[in-house]
Amino acid sequence: MKNPLLLTALLVALLLPAAEKAGAQQIPVNYDEAKVPPYTLPDLLTTKSGRQITSRKQWESHRPELIRLFSEHVYGKMPTQPVRLRYETTSVDLNALNGTAIRKQISVFFADYPQLPPMNILLYVPKGTTQPVPVFVSMNFQGNHSVSTDPGITLSTRWLPNLGAGKVVNHQATEAARGMQDRRWPVPMILARGYALATVYYGDVEPDHPDGWKTGIRSVLSPPAGPDSWGAIGAWAWGMSRMLDYLETDPAVNARKAVLVGHSRIGKATLWAGALDSRFAAVVSNDSGEGGTALARRWYGETIEHLNTQFPYWFCPQYKAYNKNPNALPVDQHQLLALIAPRPLYVASAVEDQWADPKGEFLGAKATEPVYQLYSKTGLGMSEHPAVNQPVGQTVRYHMRTGVHDVTNYDWEQYLKFADELVK
């Protein structure tokens, strides 16, 4: 299909239940830059009381206010009670992937909530390393077995999304599903560059459908109640921090050099996790779009109203108050990205993924520069949206590659270079 905008619309339609499709199709979509109305972003360096921020110390004091606003109006309040975790290594292969890797599978049990199934971590570490290695941390969409054709990966027994079915079904994994998304996970490339890879199926934390919370972590930690209740995005972000809790106990990896990576809806969760948990050394957002890196006040591609119509369980209920008026939202996404400072941040787009608003993603990253400057860090260093396949920036980086909404080897090549220069 030659029209990428039409292709995007069709893909979205395939993934939506019928009732949600009908509602989403009635919401106007703009793909004309000339029709984007004027908007004014909240000033990064001005507090709610009007005080100007001129130092790192003042910014650090301002961070809790921004986190509170995002908690109350976008992602919901995260639970504060500690959760006891118990780790059980279920398998180890010292000669995985033709002898190039050590593969470990670890079940993370929630000791205070035995009714919950565990979160299962798949960890690959390059073979032959003598020191703890930096690690990429991410979640996958179709089960750990989808990441690689490695026959030793345990097939998931959880609810899995049956893409294209148009309804919630319990799709069980089979051998045919092994490696079904390995194109998104160039494990040999990552290992060859000296990094470990840790991934978890996001459905282990909460299945991705409206009733998923009933069998996920939100069923026992702060169940939905009230306008600022946390949504699925918050649950997945919480799970990423629990992954890091485990990695801090594993002597094979250097958890202080953990690079958090996420695509699409997991990209949104990755940004929220990275903003909340400063233990992550760097954050990478791949095609996260609306509710992620794209500016909410820009009327282009997906909007807040689209999100809340298609996926009403992702965000807090209060977020729906801004469906028709994003300018009333007390925050915008550039402030979320700035909460990652001074740590390295990478934002990536795809030229045919107009639904995610590539220019809006670029502008979100660009707008973080005043905060990074407080830390004497250089951001993108340019004002114009760069050409395709032309990465830009230093501590904050950006690229827009050819192709559609996906994760490609080109993306990973940039993330590895980014990590080599700023983390490793």
264 is catalytic: yes
Quick check: helix, strand or coil at residue 120?
A: strand
**Catalytic hit among 71, 222, 264, 288:** 264
CA angle 127, 131, 132 (to 5 degrees): 85
Phi-psi domain of 35 (left: phi exceeds 0; alpha: psi -120 through 50; beta: other): alpha
62 is catalytic: no
Give the pair of three-digit tokens for residue 276: 């909340």
Which residue, among 362, 356, 352, has the nearest Cα to 397 in the 3D structure? 362
Which residue, among 368, 422, 373, 365, has the nearest Cα to 398 in the 3D structure? 365
Q: How far is CA 88 from CA 35, 229, 237, 376, in A?
A: 55, 31, 22, 43
Contacts of 38 (CB under 8 A, 6+ apart): none
Give the pair of three-digit tokens for residue 382: 């340019």
Which residue type is seen at 59?
W
CA angle 255, 260, 261 (to 5 degrees): 145
Sheet strands side by side (includes 196-201):
85-95, 101-110, 119-126, 196-201, 133-140, 253-263, 282-286, 345-350, 396-401, 392-393
Contacts of 340 (CB under 8 A, 6+ apart): 271, 274, 275, 283, 368
Active site positions, annotated: 264, 405
